[in-house]
Chains A and B, each alone.
Chain A
Amino acid sequence: MLIDRSMRQSGGPRSRNLTETVSTTLQRVAAGDKSAVRVFVVQYKSLLWSLARRYSPSRTEAEDAVQDVFVELWEKAARFDPSKASEKTFVVMIARRRLIDRLRKQGRQVPTVPLDASSEVTESDSDKLEKDETVRKAKNAMRTLPEAQQQVIKHSICGGLTHSQIAEKLRIPLGTVKTHARRGLIKLREAIQADTVMGSEVSA
């Protein structure tokens, strides 16, 4: 499967950083610390249950889905590299990957998020987001993107739309949507990595 192979092809961890002197919960899990499992589940069960409920058509399927997500996390725990992103962002990445994969296999559409309500980051939201360095960087980078790129990223990632659907919705050529999506995500990726000096995150 694509994802598994891509994980195998990924390079090893980047330069070790200061944050690694204090292991995250997921790193403790990867190191075989059984007590970290309970801590991890307690820490992320609300977020992951919320995502699973949103991405699943029924409560029963959400239960299956969240178990799939956690199994994936136990298996991929060693892949987490704090020099690339926060633990929470890694958890969200694995969860979205698994949940979207399940939907695709079932022939279902990725659920949409009402962008009118969620696309503007408020000050109170900001306080919460600032606590996560990776998300803070992404938020700052997002503000620097041209409006068209922001729209495409929003509709793609949160709106659950394919590039073709975005082209139709925004009434712009498909090629332009693809370019915006590609460039926008690359800029976000670069921004997330940009402040990393020898792997340690430095506030901008």
Chain B
Amino acid sequence: MTNHAHNHEERLLELLAEQAGAGLDVSQVEELDALIELAESGEDLEELELAAAAAYQVFDMQAEIELEPMPESLSEKLIAVGEAKIASKSDTADRAPALSFKKHQAQTSSGLHHPAWGWLAAAAVLAISVTAWLAMSVNQTPSGFASQRQQLLTQADDLIRSVWVESDDPVYGQVKGDVVWSDNKQQGYMRLVGMPVNDPDVQQYQLWIVDPDVDSHPVDGGVFDVNEDGEVIVPIDAKLHVNKPTVFAITVEKPGGVVVSAGPLRVVAPVKS
């Protein structure tokens, strides 16, 4: 090993040790990033982190002590999001058979679903004809939607707000923004930043609202398009009365949307309890 390479390795280990402990500042993260590129030692980082996690448990017995119980509603929400993630992944793996099954189900009964789809592989509760689908082109009156959203923010006294969570999805994982919703007004808006523009002739976005109080299946929240970059505001078009939504999720569907979604979930916003 050359001195140069040796110095790199020494420095890498120093940074890995600090990363596993108190963490790194921004400049150190950049430096570690560069060194890992050179050394390809991601394995070192994970194993050092595991060692640190084990040491943490040795020293910090307090970590085991429950300071207060996790709120039950939060626990249920975590379960809903986890199950949605699994449904999304299993659907991706079995996408071809799921699609063919979906077509059959949509023609026969909107209440049936393929087990592999999980909770989102559900029927939209209302039978919706294709002609009834009025996709919302979000940049037709962007300032109008923004203004209506602002009005909702100031007037609704039961407003809930949840943010889109980051994911590893290479296309949709970094979508930012939030959802605001009022049960009393049955009105809400999605704010999406970085959502890819879609071609309505090929595919459209569809919102689903999970409301266990209404139905075990998600409620159809409307089909919409994104035809401009940057921030867009989309009104929610819930097809059923929604009381206490727990998760908002967006799928990509064929033009006009679907009665039964095959997913996968592209963007998800769990609602805070």
Contact = CB atoms under 8 A, between A and B. Distances in A.
B25 interface: yes
Given A5-B36, A40-B82, A104 B50 contact: no
Interface of B: prevailing SS? helix
A113 B59 contact: yes
A104 B55 contact: no
Interface of A: prevailing SS? helix
Contacts of A148: none
A121 interface: yes
A117 to B, nearest CB: 8
Interface string A51-82: 10110000010011011101100110000000
Contacts of A137: 54
B75 A142 contact: no
Interface string B11-35: 0011011101111111001001100
B14, B18, B22, B47 interface centre (most CB from chain A within 10 Å): B22
A158 B50 contact: no
A142 B58 contact: yes
A167 to B, nearest CB: 12
Given A50-B66, A129-B57, A182-B13, A10 B42 contact: yes
Contacts of B118: 34
Contacts of A189: 47-48, 50-51
A46 B70 contact: yes
A71 B74 CA distance: 13
Nearest to A180: B17
Interface string B79-110: 10111011101100100000000000000000
Contact of B78 (A33, A41, A90): A41
B36, B56, B87, B89 interface centre (most CB from chain A within 10 Å): B56
Contacts of B42: 5-10
A104 B25 contact: yes
Given A5-B36, A34-B87, A85 B60 contact: no
A106 interface: no
Given A63-B273, A185-B17, A125 B61 contact: yes
A171 interface: no
Contacts of B74: 63, 66-67
A119 B166 CA distance: 36
Contacts of B241: none
A10 B71 CA distance: 36
Contact of B75 (A45, A85, A159, A185): A45
B83 A37 contact: yes
Given A34-B83, A67-B270, A74-B85, A103 B50 contact: no
A129 B32 CA distance: 33
14 contacts: A2-B29, A38-B79, A41-B79, A50-B64, A88-B57, A93-B53, A96-B52, A104-B23, A121-B61, A138-B55, A156-B17, A156-B20, A181-B17, A185-B55
Interface of A: 2, 4-11, 29, 32-34, 37-38, 40-42, 45-47, 49-51, 53-54, 60, 63-64, 66-68, 70-71, 74-75, 84-85, 88-90, 92-93, 96-97, 100-101, 103-104, 110, 113, 115, 117-119, 121, 125, 128-129, 132, 134-135, 137-139, 142, 153-154, 156-163, 178, 181-182, 184-186, 188-189, 192-193
Given A182-B17, A185-B16, 13 more contacts: A10-B42, A11-B43, A37-B83, A53-B67, A68-B165, A71-B166, A92-B57, A93-B49, A115-B59, A118-B60, A128-B64, A156-B21, A178-B18
